[in-house]
Amino acid sequence: MMTIIYRPTPPAPFVTLHKVSPMNIQGSIALVTGANRGLGLAYAKALLDAGARKVYAGARDPSTVTLPGVIPVKLDVTNPQDIAAAAALCTDVNLVINNAGITGASPLLDATEGDSTLRRLLETNLHGIHAMAVAFAPVLKANGGGALVNMLSALSWVSLDTTSAYSVSKAAAWALTNSLRNELRAQGTQVLAVHAGYIDTDMVSHVDAPKSSPADIASRTLEALASGAQEVLADETSRQVKAGFAATPSLYLGVA
Protein backbone atom coordinates (compact mmCIF):
# COMPACT_ATOMS: atom_id res chain seq x y z
CA MET A 1 0.00 0.00 0.00
CA MET A 2 1.36 3.39 -0.93
CA THR A 3 1.86 5.80 1.95
CA ILE A 4 1.04 9.43 1.30
CA ILE A 5 3.00 11.88 3.42
CA TYR A 6 1.39 15.24 3.98
CA ARG A 7 3.83 18.12 3.62
CA PRO A 8 1.87 21.36 3.83
CA THR A 9 3.21 24.54 2.32
CA PRO A 10 3.95 26.87 5.22
CA PRO A 11 1.89 30.06 5.20
CA ALA A 12 3.56 33.43 4.89
CA PRO A 13 4.93 34.61 8.25
CA PHE A 14 3.00 37.89 8.05
CA VAL A 15 -0.75 37.84 7.42
CA THR A 16 -2.67 41.00 6.49
CA LEU A 17 -6.40 40.47 6.02
CA HIS A 18 -7.62 44.05 6.12
CA LYS A 19 -5.85 47.21 5.13
CA VAL A 20 -4.59 49.08 8.19
CA SER A 21 -2.06 51.84 8.57
CA PRO A 22 1.36 50.34 9.39
CA MET A 23 2.87 51.22 12.74
CA ASN A 24 5.88 53.52 12.51
CA ILE A 25 8.23 52.41 15.28
CA GLN A 26 10.55 55.35 14.71
CA GLY A 27 9.40 58.07 17.12
CA SER A 28 6.70 55.90 18.69
CA ILE A 29 5.84 55.84 22.39
CA ALA A 30 5.36 52.31 23.66
CA LEU A 31 4.31 50.41 26.76
CA VAL A 32 5.48 46.82 27.23
CA THR A 33 4.02 44.65 29.99
CA GLY A 34 6.28 42.15 31.74
CA ALA A 35 9.26 44.14 30.48
CA ASN A 36 11.75 43.41 33.25
CA ARG A 37 13.09 40.14 31.78
CA GLY A 38 12.83 37.56 29.04
CA LEU A 39 10.78 38.44 25.98
CA GLY A 40 9.45 41.66 27.51
CA LEU A 41 13.00 42.89 28.01
CA ALA A 42 13.79 41.93 24.41
CA TYR A 43 10.78 43.92 23.21
CA ALA A 44 11.94 46.99 25.15
CA LYS A 45 15.46 46.71 23.74
CA ALA A 46 14.19 46.22 20.19
CA LEU A 47 11.93 49.26 20.47
CA LEU A 48 14.78 51.47 21.65
CA ASP A 49 17.05 50.14 18.90
CA ALA A 50 14.34 50.81 16.30
CA GLY A 51 14.06 54.46 17.33
CA ALA A 52 11.11 54.53 19.70
CA ARG A 53 11.02 57.94 21.37
CA LYS A 54 9.88 56.60 24.73
CA VAL A 55 9.41 53.11 26.18
CA TYR A 56 7.45 52.47 29.36
CA ALA A 57 8.51 49.15 30.94
CA GLY A 58 5.75 47.60 33.00
CA ALA A 59 6.54 45.15 35.80
CA ARG A 60 4.93 44.02 39.04
CA ASP A 61 8.04 45.30 40.80
CA PRO A 62 9.39 48.30 38.87
CA SER A 63 12.70 48.07 40.75
CA THR A 64 13.46 44.96 38.66
CA VAL A 65 13.47 47.05 35.47
CA THR A 66 17.15 47.79 34.88
CA LEU A 67 17.36 48.50 31.14
CA PRO A 68 18.83 51.97 30.55
CA GLY A 69 16.59 54.32 28.58
CA VAL A 70 13.18 52.96 29.61
CA ILE A 71 10.68 54.30 32.16
CA PRO A 72 9.75 51.72 34.83
CA VAL A 73 6.03 51.47 35.57
CA LYS A 74 4.39 49.47 38.36
CA LEU A 75 2.02 47.23 36.46
CA ASP A 76 0.45 43.94 37.47
CA VAL A 77 -2.06 43.17 34.71
CA THR A 78 -4.31 41.38 37.21
CA ASN A 79 -4.54 44.51 39.38
CA PRO A 80 -7.19 47.02 38.25
CA GLN A 81 -5.60 49.82 40.28
CA ASP A 82 -2.22 49.28 38.60
CA ILE A 83 -3.79 49.33 35.15
CA ALA A 84 -5.77 52.49 35.86
CA ALA A 85 -2.67 54.21 37.22
CA ALA A 86 -0.62 53.14 34.19
CA ALA A 87 -3.27 54.47 31.79
CA ALA A 88 -3.32 57.78 33.67
CA LEU A 89 0.48 58.01 33.55
CA CYS A 90 1.10 56.79 29.99
CA THR A 91 -1.32 59.10 28.18
CA ASP A 92 1.09 59.60 25.26
CA VAL A 93 1.30 55.91 24.30
CA ASN A 94 0.54 54.85 20.73
CA LEU A 95 1.81 51.27 21.00
CA VAL A 96 0.88 48.72 23.67
CA ILE A 97 2.58 45.32 23.75
CA ASN A 98 0.73 42.84 25.96
CA ASN A 99 3.60 40.51 26.74
CA ALA A 100 3.03 39.59 30.40
CA GLY A 101 1.97 35.99 30.83
CA ILE A 102 2.29 32.98 33.12
CA THR A 103 2.24 29.22 32.72
CA GLY A 104 1.20 26.19 34.76
CA ALA A 105 1.31 22.44 34.25
CA SER A 106 -1.57 21.03 36.32
CA PRO A 107 -3.94 18.85 34.23
CA LEU A 108 -7.40 20.30 33.74
CA LEU A 109 -8.98 17.29 35.47
CA ASP A 110 -6.65 17.36 38.46
CA ALA A 111 -9.08 17.35 41.38
CA THR A 112 -6.73 19.36 43.60
CA GLU A 113 -5.22 22.05 41.38
CA GLY A 114 -6.85 21.80 37.96
CA ASP A 115 -9.49 24.45 38.53
CA SER A 116 -7.26 26.89 40.44
CA THR A 117 -4.49 26.63 37.83
CA LEU A 118 -6.87 27.31 34.97
CA ARG A 119 -8.42 30.30 36.74
CA ARG A 120 -4.99 31.72 37.59
CA LEU A 121 -3.79 31.43 33.98
CA LEU A 122 -6.98 32.92 32.58
CA GLU A 123 -6.72 35.84 35.02
CA THR A 124 -3.35 36.86 33.57
CA ASN A 125 -3.27 35.50 30.03
CA LEU A 126 -6.86 36.40 29.09
CA HIS A 127 -8.40 38.88 31.53
CA GLY A 128 -5.15 40.79 31.87
CA ILE A 129 -5.04 41.42 28.12
CA HIS A 130 -8.71 42.38 28.11
CA ALA A 131 -8.28 44.82 31.00
CA MET A 132 -5.27 46.43 29.31
CA ALA A 133 -7.23 46.80 26.06
CA VAL A 134 -10.18 48.41 27.83
CA ALA A 135 -7.90 50.88 29.64
CA PHE A 136 -5.67 51.76 26.71
CA ALA A 137 -8.06 51.73 23.75
CA PRO A 138 -9.08 55.35 24.50
CA VAL A 139 -5.41 56.32 24.87
CA LEU A 140 -4.54 54.79 21.51
CA LYS A 141 -7.54 56.49 19.90
CA ALA A 142 -6.53 59.87 21.29
CA ASN A 143 -3.04 59.37 19.86
CA GLY A 144 -4.13 58.54 16.33
CA GLY A 145 -5.01 54.85 16.60
CA GLY A 146 -1.61 53.29 17.03
CA ALA A 147 -1.25 49.57 17.62
CA LEU A 148 -2.05 46.85 20.13
CA VAL A 149 0.17 43.74 20.15
CA ASN A 150 -0.90 40.56 21.95
CA MET A 151 1.74 37.92 22.61
CA LEU A 152 0.04 34.58 21.99
CA SER A 153 1.53 31.16 21.25
CA ALA A 154 1.55 28.20 18.90
CA LEU A 155 -0.14 26.57 21.89
CA SER A 156 -3.16 28.75 21.11
CA TRP A 157 -3.85 26.06 18.49
CA VAL A 158 -2.63 22.79 20.00
CA SER A 159 -2.51 21.26 23.47
CA LEU A 160 0.24 19.04 24.81
CA ASP A 161 0.08 16.75 27.84
CA THR A 162 1.76 19.38 30.00
CA THR A 163 0.10 22.50 28.57
CA SER A 164 -3.63 21.91 28.95
CA ALA A 165 -4.54 24.96 31.03
CA TYR A 166 -1.98 27.18 29.31
CA SER A 167 -3.34 26.20 25.90
CA VAL A 168 -6.89 27.00 27.03
CA SER A 169 -5.78 30.45 28.20
CA LYS A 170 -3.88 31.18 24.98
CA ALA A 171 -6.70 29.90 22.76
CA ALA A 172 -9.05 32.24 24.61
CA ALA A 173 -6.57 35.09 24.20
CA TRP A 174 -6.40 34.39 20.46
CA ALA A 175 -10.20 34.64 20.19
CA LEU A 176 -10.10 37.79 22.30
CA THR A 177 -7.48 39.30 19.98
CA ASN A 178 -9.60 38.58 16.90
CA SER A 179 -12.59 40.22 18.56
CA LEU A 180 -10.60 43.24 19.72
CA ARG A 181 -9.36 43.68 16.16
CA ASN A 182 -12.96 44.01 14.98
CA GLU A 183 -13.88 46.49 17.70
CA LEU A 184 -10.75 48.63 17.33
CA ARG A 185 -10.73 48.81 13.55
CA ALA A 186 -13.04 51.83 13.48
CA GLN A 187 -10.60 53.91 15.53
CA GLY A 188 -7.70 52.95 13.27
CA THR A 189 -5.86 50.74 15.76
CA GLN A 190 -3.72 47.99 14.30
CA VAL A 191 -4.12 44.77 16.31
CA LEU A 192 -1.30 42.26 15.89
CA ALA A 193 -1.39 38.66 17.13
CA VAL A 194 2.05 37.12 17.68
CA HIS A 195 2.36 33.35 17.64
CA ALA A 196 5.54 31.49 18.53
CA GLY A 197 6.67 28.17 19.92
CA TYR A 198 9.02 27.85 22.85
CA ILE A 199 11.15 30.95 23.49
CA ASP A 200 14.42 30.80 25.42
CA THR A 201 13.27 32.48 28.64
CA ASP A 202 13.06 31.57 32.33
CA MET A 203 9.43 30.53 31.90
CA VAL A 204 10.35 27.44 29.87
CA SER A 205 13.88 26.84 31.12
CA HIS A 206 12.77 23.36 32.22
CA VAL A 207 11.56 22.40 28.73
CA ASP A 208 13.91 20.31 26.59
CA ALA A 209 12.89 21.43 23.10
CA PRO A 210 14.05 23.78 20.34
CA LYS A 211 13.64 27.42 21.36
CA SER A 212 13.74 30.75 19.56
CA SER A 213 15.71 33.66 20.92
CA PRO A 214 13.67 36.49 22.47
CA ALA A 215 15.52 38.99 20.29
CA ASP A 216 14.42 37.20 17.11
CA ILE A 217 10.77 37.14 18.19
CA ALA A 218 10.86 40.83 19.11
CA SER A 219 12.51 41.73 15.81
CA ARG A 220 9.94 39.82 13.74
CA THR A 221 7.11 41.40 15.71
CA LEU A 222 8.33 44.91 14.96
CA GLU A 223 8.79 43.99 11.29
CA ALA A 224 5.20 42.73 11.19
CA LEU A 225 3.94 45.93 12.81
CA ALA A 226 5.78 48.04 10.26
CA SER A 227 4.25 46.00 7.43
CA GLY A 228 0.70 46.60 8.67
CA ALA A 229 0.18 42.89 9.42
CA GLN A 230 -2.48 41.58 11.77
CA GLU A 231 -0.80 38.27 12.56
CA VAL A 232 2.79 37.11 12.64
CA LEU A 233 3.96 33.51 12.79
CA ALA A 234 7.23 34.42 14.42
CA ASP A 235 9.09 31.12 14.20
CA GLU A 236 9.16 27.80 12.37
CA THR A 237 7.14 26.05 15.09
CA SER A 238 4.19 28.42 14.77
CA ARG A 239 4.28 28.13 10.97
CA GLN A 240 4.29 24.33 11.11
CA VAL A 241 1.49 24.20 13.67
CA LYS A 242 -0.79 26.51 11.70
CA ALA A 243 -0.04 24.65 8.47
CA GLY A 244 -1.12 21.48 10.30
CA PHE A 245 -4.70 22.75 10.40
CA ALA A 246 -5.02 21.52 6.82
CA ALA A 247 -3.79 18.01 7.61
CA THR A 248 -6.13 15.03 7.89
CA PRO A 249 -6.72 14.67 10.77
CA SER A 250 -5.98 18.27 11.74
CA LEU A 251 -3.00 18.74 14.01
CA TYR A 252 -5.07 20.36 16.78
CA LEU A 253 -7.02 17.12 17.26
CA GLY A 254 -3.91 15.65 18.86
CA VAL A 255 -4.22 12.31 17.07
CA ALA A 256 -0.95 10.35 17.23
User: pLDDT tens digit string along 56-82?
Assistant: 999 999 999 999 999 999 999 999 999
* Mean of pLDDT values over 177-202: 94
CATH architecture for residues 14-253: 3-Layer(aba) Sandwich (3.40)
The CA distance from 93 to 84, in Å, is 14
pLDDT band at 205 (very low <50, low <70, confident <90, very high): low
Q: What is the pTM of this model?
A: 0.89
Q: What is the pLDDT of residue 204?
A: 65
Mean pLDDT for all residues in the chain: 90
Q: Does 183 score more than 60 pLDDT? A: yes
Q: What is the pLDDT of residue 116?
A: 96
Q: What is the pLDDT of residue 9?
A: 47
Q: What is the pLDDT of residue 20?
A: 64
